[in-house]
Chain A
Amino acid sequence: MLPGLLPELEVIRKDFPILERTLAGGLPLVYLDSANTSQKPQCVIDAMVDHLERHNANVARAMHQLGAESSEAFENARDVVARFIGAPSRDEVVFTKNASEALNLVANTLAWATGDLAIGEGDEVVITEMEHHSNIVPWQLLTERKGATLRWFGLTDDGELDLSDIDSLITERTKVVSLTWVSNMLGTINPVTEIARRAHEVGAIVVVDASQAAPQLPVDVTEVDADVLVFTGHKVVGPTGIGVLWGKRSLLEQLPPFLGGGEMIETVRMERSTYAGIPHRFEAGTPPIVEAVGLGAALEYLAAVGMDNIHRHEQAITAYALEGLATIPGLRVMGPLDATRRGGAVAFEMDGVHPHDIAQVLDSRGVAVRAGHHCAKPAHARFGVQSSTRMSSYLYTTPAEIDALVEGLEHTRAYFKVG
């Protein structure tokens, strides 16, 4: 067995019912698209079904027993999230629809902010060339609307952030530095703590997109030294429809409201309203209750397996995958080739066959990967490609599944008569 693999891998796989199913032609499923969305363990499915079957009611506004149970389950999920990311206070955990909404919440409320947080002409927002579109477009909108300037870190040929111009990028004009912890395309793990330190020296707000980091690295928001950290539920074996925005209390309390509505108010008069404290100020309307319950169950599951163990497993599988991919003629991996410096998403191109066609042939063999630009067009453009094929593993991935991928790629070359 590969060193570093989860010792109880077969037991873990049994927790995920979907891994048992077969595809057209009776083929077993080889799911290598977890960076896109992860599969769900039975305990998450059960927690959500149990809530719907036994405890369903609206939260924080139903004065009956079910309402109390539902509110407790929802708020318990907030406690679980706070523990999972080492948040100093549960009030700093805001539930959103997904990571995109969390990033848009920050960018929009900053656009409306006055005083110290206000952004205007002459101010700068710094991102990176490896961001997911959801960490590019909200900042483009903010800077365009406010007459500010968007700047970014470029990438080295190895797929790392080019930090050589950090002194000219992060300056006293910088108001926000927003970057991904782990790239969804290149897999690169960025030195977020070092960049956060530099950003804080000039008084900038640091936003960390942990959508790909939270599933596979131990997260401690204090250690990262971010002001805001976001991730999405469905990539951490939880359901879709729920994301997390963690923000430092001092920052969240200064930001103006985002969406107006029920639950985010203190009192409403026809002339004007006053607003609830954090986190509810940013949670207008009936929240995704059962999704929060599912997310809580998901994070408890990951914590029980152990994030350090999951990280080691990912590194072992990724190293094995990089070795296997290196045996395919004409295949080029984009991003770091050292598994200890990257996450479990591995994007590559293969001479003579377009990514869509690769994914199609792999799918006919039961191997699920993603093909396209992975919502990271600028990163693809940086490497002179329009799209790529991406395999991504998770805690349930086995070396045999990587073998199936590599065999599938050899078959693909033969099918398209390459080489």
Chain B
Amino acid sequence: MNAELDSLYQEIILDHYKNPHHAGLRDPYEAEVHHVNPTCGDEVTLRVHLDGGTVADVSYDAVGCSISQASASVLTDLVIGKPVDEAMSVHQEFLALMQGKGTVEPDEDVLEDGIAFAGVAKFPARVKCALLSWMAWKDATTRSLEETR
């Protein structure tokens, strides 16, 4: 009974949930967005700071379940310090994993701790939780690019 549950709540996810990385809102930033999951009410406020084509900082204030909180933490680990193009392709990879209904084999070289979310893809109701901050990041990054153009 717990095997299924353990595939969702990987130890890595629970670690990020208890100790989220890069949490809190910081300056400077070019764009701040607020995304909600209307079905459950999970919310994230997320800021992106770009510097010379690189994701210099992603800061956030999130309220939500373990999956959505851990996902925000993993997101920041993965994109901060990367060129925007590369970060966008990581985003694409994570999105494909989440929308793959459990059939996509994650690439650990690209997604690192993000591979722990492979089990979430098998729980359709929780996919939105995992994607909340990622969608917010993409939105904020697009706006930052427009801002700095």
Interface residues, chain A, CB within 8 Å of chain B?
24-25, 27, 354-357, 360-361, 364-365, 371-373, 377, 380, 386-387, 415-416
Interface positions, chain B 7-27, Cβ under 8 Å from A, are 8-9, 14
Specify which of B9, B41, B69, B126 is in contact with A373 (CB 8 Å cutoff).
B41
Question: Judging by beta carbons under 8 Å apart, are A360 and B41 in contact?
Answer: no
Specify which of A27, A364, A365, A372 is in contact with B40 (CB 8 Å cutoff).
A372
Known contacts A354-B64, A356-B129; A364/B41 CB under 8 A: no
B114 CB to nearest A CB, Å: 19
Q: Which residues of A sit under 8 angstroms from B110, Cβ to Cβ?
A: none
Question: Judging by beta carbons under 8 Å apart, are A356 and B1 in contact?
Answer: no
Question: Judging by beta carbons under 8 Å apart, are A357 and B4 in contact?
Answer: no
B interface, size bucket: 20 to 34
Q: How far is the CA of A416 from the CA of B64 in the complex (A)?
A: 15
Question: Judging by beta carbons under 8 Å apart, are B126 and A356 in contact?
Answer: yes
Known contacts A360-B126, A372-B40, A387-B40; A354/B66 CB under 8 A: yes
Question: Judging by beta carbons under 8 Å apart, are A24 and B4 in contact?
Answer: yes
Nearest 9 CB-CB pairings of A with B: A356-B65, A354-B65, A373-B41, A372-B40, A364-B5, A387-B41, A357-B66, A386-B63, A25-B1
Name which residue of chain A comes closest to B14, CB basis: A416
Q: How far is the CA of A254 from the CA of B1 in the complex (A)?
A: 59
Interface centre among B4, B14, B40 (most CB of A within 10 A): B40
Q: Could you show 18 A-B contacts with beta carbons less than 8 Å apart?
A: A25-B4, A356-B65, A356-B66, A356-B126, A357-B9, A357-B65, A360-B126, A364-B2, A364-B4, A364-B5, A365-B1, A372-B40, A373-B40, A373-B41, A386-B42, A415-B5, A415-B9, A416-B66
Q: Which residues of B sit under 8 angstroms from A361, Cβ to Cβ?
A: 5
Q: Which residues of B sit under 8 angstroms from A371, Cβ to Cβ?
A: 40
Question: Judging by beta carbons under 8 Å apart, are A380 and B66 in contact?
Answer: no
Name which residue of chain A comes closest to B41, CB basis: A373
Which secondary structure characterizes the binding site on chain A?
helix
A394 CB to nearest B CB, Å: 23
Q: Which residues of B sit under 8 angstroms from A416, Cβ to Cβ?
A: 14, 66
Q: Which residues of A sit under 8 angstroms from B9, Cβ to Cβ?
A: 357, 415
Specify which of A25, A365, A372 is in contact with B41 (CB 8 Å cutoff).
A372
Q: Which residues of A sit under 8 angstroms from B14, Cβ to Cβ?
A: 416
For residue B98, CB closer than 8 A to chain A, the reply is no
For residue B67, CB closer than 8 A to chain A, the reply is yes
Q: Which residues of A sit under 8 angstroms from B126, Cβ to Cβ?
A: 356, 360
Q: How far is the CA of A27 from the CA of B2 in the complex (A)?
A: 13
Q: Which residues of B sit under 8 angstroms from A387, Cβ to Cβ?
A: 40-42
Q: How far is the CA of A103 from the CA of B123 in the complex (A)?
A: 34
Q: Which residues of A sit under 8 angstroms from B32, Cβ to Cβ?
A: none
Question: Judging by beta carbons under 8 Å apart, are A27 and B1 in contact?
Answer: yes
Question: Judging by beta carbons under 8 Å apart, are A356 and B40 in contact?
Answer: yes
Q: How far is the CA of A119 from the CA of B90 in the complex (A)?
A: 54
Known contacts A372-B41, A387-B40; A356/B67 CB under 8 A: yes
Specify which of B2, B39, B65, B123 is in contact with A355 (CB 8 Å cutoff).
B65
Specify which of A27, A354, A360, A386 is in contact with B5 (CB 8 Å cutoff).
A360
Q: How far is the CA of A356 from the CA of B123 in the complex (A)?
A: 12
Q: Which residues of A sit under 8 angstroms from B42, Cβ to Cβ?
A: 356, 386-387
